Structure 1
Amino acid sequence: MARIIPVDTFDCVVFGATGDLTLRKLLPALYHRFRDGQAPEGSRIIAAARSEMDDSNYRTRAEAALQRHVAKDELDPEQVRRFLACLHYAQVDGAAEKGWEGLLSLLAESPPDRIRVFYLATSPDLYGPICRNLAAHGAITPQSRVVLEKPIGHDLASARAINDEVGSVFAEPQIFRIDHYLGKETVQNLLALRFANTIFERLWNADVIDHVQITVGETVGVEGRGGYYDRSGALRDMVQNHMLQLLCLLAMESPVTFGADSLRDEKLKVLRSLKPMAPHEVEQLTVRGQYIRGAVDGRPVEGYLADLGAEEPSRTETFVALKAELNSRRWANVPFYLRTGKRLPQKVSEIVVQFRALPFTIFPADAGTLQPNALIIRLQPEEGMRLEMMTKEPGPGGLHLRQTGLDISFEKAFGTRYPDAYERLLMDTVRGSTVLFMRRDEVEAAWGWIEPILDAWEAKGDTPRPYSAGSWGPTASIALIERDGRTWHEDLG
């Protein structure tokens, strides 16, 4: 059974409470924490948005969201009733200076030393105005924290501007820049794998590892987020945050302690050691694509432009593959291949650590082809790890070798439901633990590496390469890795 770490009574104020993120992710996550007894009696969720409604209206909407996004066997009627009773609604425009009376009145009902979590599930351009208004109305206390959803800006300059605005009213330890990938159990298990197991840490270097692949595939298209996505694209939406954070955890040196700053110091070193791409290198080291009409799971789907409802061509990429390298002794000449996209064949997030081939073999040629070892770390859909290794086929008919997998499914191994990443991260904000959140300099270092790629694409001015929905992206992404004598891992899922 999972160990529950108690937290203090809290108020969680969610700005953007009628939006998709709140209804699809935050409310279900909070329900699970309430259901499992992790929210003390008296804790409240205050939904803040511009829509005109009262507590009853919002509770009805929240209940409908739970029915859609929580498994039926996890919806206990009494627990749902108690959870909904903790919900309150305040109509407020976070960017406006006036109209805060309802929210301030609700906050005044709690003791002044109560923990206050302000979760900004809004557009990033509202982060600064909301924080300034919270300060102007005296809503920020020493026990307050603010949670910022990604993306933090759309380039380095805007990220710095947001960090400056938020940092002018909240101290850095009060700012929680959330990347939900860091809340996934398998991502946290990367730290356990590397630093709690001697066998792997001693192998974790360029002497033994040939290359690393990180794949994040989605079967969906833009799903009603076309306005946001067409201004963002796959590089900003996935690589700048989720995928670079995974790369950091894979590549970083051992922190001195498990403390937040110690861990984030090591991640920052990785980001700063990424080899920058010169404009003439971007074309060789990156591939961007955009899906066209095709089929996913045997179902015909439209292309990106049709999903947008656009009549003019778009230069926004829905797929990106790239080759990254690090200027470090541990990872010298070990490439990291990253790819992500929408309308791919499978919804899967997976890391492949490919070890080097044996320099020689003692086995006869008819024993079979020796395959190098690989460690496959699955983030979704089923979290776990698999170590691919050579073994002898059973039987007395001679010595025949084949590759088999030592497979660990975390859910089966521990016999428990794996919580959603937001469940862990939301409770960490209440505890004040910033270990699994990004620090300001991390965000800006990531943008510093990504921005030259964006600039080179913009300067070239061409459109992304088309790929059929249901495929693994443009054929150029295959060439990206195969010209190095390697190939994408295809046994995904």
Structure 2
Amino acid sequence: MVARVIPVECFDLVVFGATGDLARRKILPGLFRRWKEGQIPEGSAIVGAARSSFTRDDFRTLVQEALTEFLPETELDPAVVASFLDLLDYVTIDARGTAGWEDLAAKMRPDVVRAFYFSVAPALFGDLAQRLHERGIAHRQSRIVVEKPFGNDLTSARALNQILAEFFKEDQIYRIDHYLGKETVQNLMAVRFANILFEPLWNSQFVDHVQITVAETVGVGGRGEYYDKSGAMRDMVQNHMMQLLCLIAMEPPHCFEPDAMRDEKLKVIRALDPVTPAEIVRGQYKGKGGDDYLTECGDPASRTESFIALKLHVSNWRWKGTPFYLRTGKRLKSRASEIAVSFKEPPHSIFGESNQWRENVLVIRLQPDEGMDLRVMIKEPGPGGMRLKDVALDMSFAEALGSDLDIPDAYERLIMDVIRGNQTLFMRGDEVEAAWAWVDPVIAAWEKHGDQPEPYEPGSTGPEGALMLMHKDGRRWREIR
């Protein structure tokens, strides 16, 4: 199957921080792939902007090297690469000064979509927004894209929202969370709201519990100093995992439009009960050499968590009494992200005690093998009577839609949505603030009591306390494969 490609309008896209790691790894390779697929029209322009004193040719060389490093050789047709490099320009700019802004203004065209990607530290968001406004480079139809972390707590998130609101309307601000651009995450909405099969069962009457897992095999590595100021709660739970929880728990919006979707997600966050200490487990990997968190972060007294597991409750009519279990961590057994919706057992079994029932589970795999499977009970083949067995009704995207299907990276899809002016998969300001309002008291309690994270072995499934969090409820985590 070949995915249908719908071109966007002609645009000018300025990438601030264009020489940085995110731009090289994700943004620029993603734009190249959209160009290769014909989604970016002729006449569009991509302008890199950073402090580095590059010429246009220097920047094009950097981008070509990034494409070679981060994309397969089979995708890099020389003619296509050359035509993409022709779209590129560069401006040396001082985010907090005056240098470069006149040059940038001269490159903007009045008759195309104008977007600005802030791939920089959040401390520069306000400076960039102010100068784009004061220099007349951004107009009412312009859009800005801001990367996480969007604040470090509720106070800083509000301050950032207020700074951006001085110069841009809410419908111009695109707070990007790449998890929402994943194909499977969007298919979760399709499965729920485009099929009568699941939605009638999507409530506390039929769902026993929900597990959301985001496991990583890597440690903090070179990000140790940065990560130690955030930890798993700020780095993953407050944004990525909160968004996944919202998509699972939200009510059906009245239509598939940005504010309708975000209104329902906001209701979920506001319905979250406060968590108690017994419902939280924090961990920190303890190994040897480079596998030790304290060594990598450079602080032998650090109490920052590299793993967290939580039990959450959504207090509304749909989910009252159904627990949501979240866990995420670094240096775990394998790299895996999934959502598992476990349904309750039938009220009565007609097959006798010899046939042990195993729960029906809908598993949405976000990575590495994007797809879904539903575990159901069937009769085991053979003449030996009625023996039940659980099997998976498996749908791998690669198998179901064709091995040649090219699934775009999340950044590719989201950047094209920015050009279209579609905010459905982006967070709204009040959504961000509500998430921080729930997270802040949890972090404050840790800091007040000086809690030390529980150690766990690198390559394991996390600390023992996480297993006990489920065990005391008569449940267990799904295996991290």
| Aligned counterpart, 2:80 | 79
Is the 8 Å Cα contact of residues 113 and 143 (structure 1) preserved in structure 2?
A: no
Given the alignment of the two structures, is residue 454 of structure 1 paired with residue 454 of structure 2, yes or no?
no
| Aligned counterpart, 1:464 | 453
TM-score by length of structure 1 reads 0.95
Is the 8 Å Cα contact of residues 113 and 141 (structure 1) preserved in structure 2?
A: no
CA distance, structure 2, for counterparts of residue 134 and residue 213 of structure 1: 43
Is the 8 Å Cα contact of residues 301 and 469 (structure 1) preserved in structure 2?
A: no
| Aligned counterpart, 1:276 | 274
Q: CA deviation at 1:55?
A: 1.2
Given the alignment of the two structures, is residue 334 of structure 1 paired with residue 322 of structure 2, yes or no?
yes
CA distance, structure 1, for counterparts of residue 133 and residue 431 of structure 2: 25
3-state SS in 2 of match to 1:276: coil
Is the 8 Å Cα contact of residues 290 and 296 (structure 2) preserved in structure 1?
A: no
| Aligned counterpart, 1:394 | 381
Given the alignment of the two structures, is residue 115 of structure 1 paired with residue 104 of structure 2, yes or no?
no
CA distance, structure 2, for counterparts of residue 432 and residue 322 of structure 1: 35
* Aligned equivalent of 2:406, options 417, 431, 451: 417
Q: CA deviation at 1:37?
A: 0.6
Is the 8 Å Cα contact of residues 318 and 341 (structure 1) preserved in structure 2?
A: yes
Given the alignment of the two structures, is residue 252 of structure 1 paired with residue 250 of structure 2, yes or no?
yes
Is the 8 Å Cα contact of residues 45 and 89 (structure 2) preserved in structure 1?
A: yes
Q: CA deviation at 1:311?
A: 4.9
CA distance, structure 2, for counterparts of residue 463 and residue 187 of structure 1: 34
| Aligned counterpart, 2:422 | 433
| Aligned counterpart, 1:141 | 139
What count of residue pairs does the alignment treat as equivalent?
A: 478
| Aligned counterpart, 2:89 | 88
* Aligned equivalent of 2:331, options 335, 343, 346: 343
Tell me the amino acid that sits aligned with residue 392 of structure 2. G
Q: Deviating runs (4+, > 4 A) in structure 1?
A: none
CA distance, structure 2, for counterparts of residue 96 and residue 479 of structure 1: 54
CA distance, structure 2, for counterparts of residue 397 and residue 360 of structure 1: 23
Listed one character per residue, the Cα deviations across residues 142-197 of structure 1 (whole Å, up to 9, x for unaligned) are 22100011111000010000001011101111100111111001000111111111
**Identity %, equivalent residues:** 54
| Aligned counterpart, 1:175 | 173
Is the 8 Å Cα contact of residues 48 and 90 (structure 2) preserved in structure 1?
A: yes
Is the 8 Å Cα contact of residues 358 and 372 (structure 1) preserved in structure 2?
A: no
* Aligned equivalent of 1:187, options 185, 188, 202: 185
| Aligned counterpart, 1:2 | 3
3-state SS in 1 of match to 2:412: helix
Given the alignment of the two structures, is residue 313 of structure 1 paired with residue 314 of structure 2, yes or no?
no
Tell me the amino acid that sits aligned with residue 358 of structure 1. P
Is the 8 Å Cα contact of residues 114 and 143 (structure 1) preserved in structure 2?
A: no
Listed one character per residue, the Cα deviations across residues 58-105 of structure 1 (whole Å, up to 9, x for unaligned) are 111111111111122222111111111111111112122444233223
CA distance, structure 2, for counterparts of residue 365 and residue 356 of structure 1: 17
Is the 8 Å Cα contact of residues 235 and 320 (structure 1) preserved in structure 2?
A: yes
Q: CA deviation at 1:463?
A: 2.4
| Aligned counterpart, 2:351 | 363
Tell me the amino acid that sits aligned with residue 149 of structure 1. E
Listed one character per residue, the Cα deviations across residues 102-158 of structure 1 (whole Å, up to 9, x for unaligned) are 322322xx2x13211100011111111110111111111122100011111000010
After superposition, the CA RMSD in angstroms is 1.3
CA distance, structure 2, for counterparts of residue 480 and residue 96 of structure 1: 52
| Structural mapping, 1:25-174, within 5 Å | 25-107=26-108, 110=109, 112-174=110-172
TM-score by length of structure 2 reads 0.97
CA distance, structure 2, for counterparts of residue 165 and residue 156 of structure 1: 14
Unaligned runs of 5+ in 2: none
| Aligned counterpart, 1:474 | 463
| Aligned counterpart, 1:297 | none
Unaligned runs of 5+ in 1: 295-299
Q: Which moved more, 1:338-347 or 1:92-101?
A: 92-101
| Aligned counterpart, 1:221 | 219
CA distance, structure 2, for counterparts of residue 143 and residue 411 of structure 1: 38
Q: CA deviation at 1:398?
A: 2.0
